[in-house]
Amino acid sequence: MPGIMLVPAHDWKEYGAAHTDKAAPAAVEGGYSLVRQDAEGVSAAFDAQGHVLATSDYFTTGRQAMVAQVPVHGTTTVYDRTEDVFAWLCLAALAALTVTAVVRPRRPGSR
């Protein structure tokens, strides 16, 4: 499990902040600190709980440097322990429902 995830980006002005906001749940899910540096947009640093440690907006500040003290040790999450088990269970349920729909005889007169 990584302790820090570095995510470089180059978003356009209208959507950069939304992309940065969506990075916080990724940090929580993975249990790591995340630093998302956007060349021309909103840069931010998050800890493993999704707290914003620092932020910098390229378009609203003359300061083009962001300084943050980011924890270097990640945490174990439910996703770390179960990985893709939930996704595989959903696929198995879909397969079972598909087989049931194909094999199950239709009742006469029901449409």
Q: What is the pLDDT of residues 17-42, one digit of tens each?
A: 888 888 899 888 888 999 999 888 89
Report how far residue 88's alpha carbon sits from residue 93's, in angstroms, rounded to the nearest whole number: 9
In the chain, how many domains are there?
Answer: 1
Range of the domain at 72: 4-103
Within a domain: 74: yes
Res. 109 pLDDT band, cuts 50 70 90: low
Tokens of residue 73, six digits: 């040790």
Within a domain: 8: yes
The pLDDT assigned to 79 comes to 77
Residue range 43-101, pLDDT digits in tens: 999 999 899 999 998 888 876 789 999 998 888 888 778 888 989 999 999 999 999 99
Within a domain: 72: yes
Within a domain: 110: no
pTM over 0.75: no
Report how far residue 41's alpha carbon sits from residue 12's, in angstroms, rounded to the nearest whole number: 7
Within a domain: 108: no
